[in-house]
Every structure is written in structure tokens, then in C-alpha cells.
Amino acid sequence: MTANINLPRILRIGAGCSRQLPEVLKELNLKHPLLVSDAFIVSLGWLNTLQSQLDDCGIQHSSFTGVVPDPTTDAVAAGLAVLKQKQGPNAHDCVVALGGGSTIDTAKAIACMAHREHPMRHYKVPQTIDDGLPIIAIPTTAGTGSEATRVAVITDTQSQEKMLCMGLGLMPIAALVDFELTMNMPWRLTADTGLDSLCHALEAYVSKKASPFTDTMALAAVSSINRHIRTACQQPDNRQAREAMMLAATQGGIVFSNSSVTLIHGMSRPIGALFHVPHGLSNAMLLPEITAWSIAGAPARYADCARAMALASPDDSDDLANQQLVSGLRQLCRDLDVPSPAQFGINAQQWQQSLPTMAQQALDSGSPANNPLVPSTDEIIALYQKVWGD
């Protein structure tokens, strides 16, 4: 099978590389960026720093700072309005995202919708988005890996569906991955985004679309995350842990963009959309039990992950390694205070009533089809009930 690999044209990784935006714009012959960010990044002064760098180089720019968590089509529309204020020779020719996954996904949506007329729901999976304005991503969280993916997740404000959108038009042309921007990440955000990265890498390795290119990187990412995530949470100024988590997040983005996520992400998106659970946290709620259910479909692959994460030794049987994988994931979620849906505060009646809708949305996303075991609607409902908690 031929592996189809897509990556940013320019990928710079390391301390301080976020300051190289003017140089990268010049290299790409881009002259009028729209900067996309959120209120938190503005409060840290980081957007102002970026604006000053562009001003010093004589690069004209505008800014949109109305990004919201779990980005919505309304927020995208507001960003498009800012983008279209400049016309003619001063029109924006690219979009620069400075922020976490929500900011990068919002920027991607603005860029791809710049010259489209239909609502964004017309372009969700199974449709593909293969063109749009160039995107430059500067991530400030070690989690989604969106800086290296051809994927964006946008909530349709009208239907509340968390839409999966895919295509080369959503792949950043450049990514500046600077771990120093993550040093201010709070404990909960560090945990949730790190667990999101872990899901990306684990799912990509067991996906039916896995390839030798993504396998090595996926195992490196799961190994690094399990080794460093607790330290990054407990010691936020630990540069070694922060750098490792940032690299693993980008690796996770690369591997899932090229091998796809599976059942965890498919079931996670409806939880986030309907109950406003942060994306990484909703993945983490599902991670141990969905892994346990899926192992029978690819026991050797899951055992590889257990060994890479140092949860099993090279001499352990696959069966023992997989038992240790599940117990290790459960312990990790306990260590990082991952709540069940019930403990998060979701209403039990609303959860039960939403199960058929969530199951259908999970299947419609296409992600469960990549899982080692492909579930039926009833099996997805049963899994949602299993993770409910008390």
C-alpha cells in the first residue's frame, strides 16, 4: 500500500523560532497577513510582540482576536469579516495563527472559506477542502498538533455538530514550533493537551491507515509523552519536559494527519459539541476503555505501544503487555485527575437521551472506520454507557 504523506512546506522547531515569522513570510513571498489569536494570548502580550516584529519589517497586517474555545462557525464568520475589510492590492494574502488548537483551526477555517460562498457545513467530511489562503501556524500549546495537519474541527453554531473538515487546503504552509510559548500553560491545559497528543499517536499507530513512515514517529511520541507529561504538569518551568511535550505534539499531529485517528476521536467530538467538554479532556475520558475494547483487533500493535511507553518489558507477552497498557492508561488518567462524564457534571438524563445522536455523529465522522475493531451503533452506545462513571 502506498502511504500518502502531507507535511508543512516549512517546519521550524526549537526555542525562539516563533520570532522568525517576518523571515518566513519573506521566504514565501507573502506580504499582507491576517493575524488570528485569542484574548488570553493578547493578555500575555504575545500578539503585540508579533505585531511589532511585523511593523519593524514594514509588513502590513490586521488582527482578529475573537477566537473562542471549540471554534464555531459564528467565530469563523467574524474572522472572515475582518479578512475581507482589506481589498485590492492590500487584500490579505495569508492567515497567521498564534495560539492553541482552537486558534489554529479557526485560522484554517478563515483561510479556506475566504473565497467560498456556501456555509461551512457543505465542506465537512466526506467532502474535502483542497485550496485556500496560505496558513502559517505558531502553536502555543503542546497538544492538538494542528500546526502539522490537514484537519480542522469546527462546531456548526446552528446544529451544534462538531464538524470534521479535511483537505490539503487546511495544511499550514509553514509552522513555527517554539516550546518556550508553552511555559505559561496552566496545569489542566497541560494535562488535557498532552493527553490529546497521546491519543493522536496511539490511534495513528493502531489505525488501519498506519504506515511505516508514521509508525516510528508515533511510537516515539507515545514514549516521550508518557515519560514527560507528569513532569510538565507538576513543574511548568521544566524546559526539558516542555520541549519534549511540544515535539511530541507536533509528531502526533503529523502521524494522525497521515494515518488518521480512530474510535476515541470519533466518540470524543460529540461529547465536546453537546456538553462543552474540552477536546483533550473528552479524549482522555474515553482513552482507557476504548483502548481496552479495541485491543482484540490489533493486539500486537497495542503491545508495541505498551513497550514504547515502558509499561511492559520486551520479554512480556502481547497479552500481558496489553493488560499493562490498559492499567497504565487508567493510572495516568487518575494521576492527571481526568473526570468521568458524570464527575464532570454532565446531566445523566441528557447523556442518556443524547446517546443515539452521539453514536451517529461518531460514525458519520469516519474515524471509527479506521479502528482495529469497527463498532456498530449499538456498540458505540454501550461504550458511552461504560465510560459514564458515577
pLDDT per residue rounded down to tens, the chain (390 residues): 788 899 999 999 999 999 999 999 999 999 999 999 999 999 999 999 999 999 999 999 999 999 998 899 999 999 999 999 998 888 999 999 999 999 999 999 999 999 998 999 999 988 999 999 999 999 999 988 999 999 999 999 998 888 889 999 999 999 999 999 999 889 999 999 999 999 999 999 999 999 999 999 999 999 999 999 999 999 999 999 999 999 999 999 999 999 999 999 999 999 998 998 998 999 999 999 999 999 999 999 999 999 999 999 999 999 999 999 999 999 999 999 999 999 999 999 999 999 999 999 999 888 999 999 999 999 999 999 999 987
Kindly tell me the sign of the dihedral angle through the C-alpha atoms of 154, 285, 261, 95: positive
CB contact at 8 A, 49 and 131:
no
Within 13 A of 384's CA, how many CA atoms are on the CB side? 29
User: Which class for 43: exposed (0-12), middle (13-18), buried (19 or more C-beta within 10 A)?
Assistant: exposed
DSSP labels for 37-68?
--HHHHHHTHHHHHHHHHHHTT---EEE----
**pTM for this predicted structure:** 0.94
Question: Who contacts 342 (Cβ-Cβ below 8 Å, separation ≥6)?
Answer: 348, 351, 388, 389, 390
User: What distance, in Å, lies between the first and last C-alpha atoms of the chain?
Assistant: 45
Nine-digit cell string for 200: 493522536
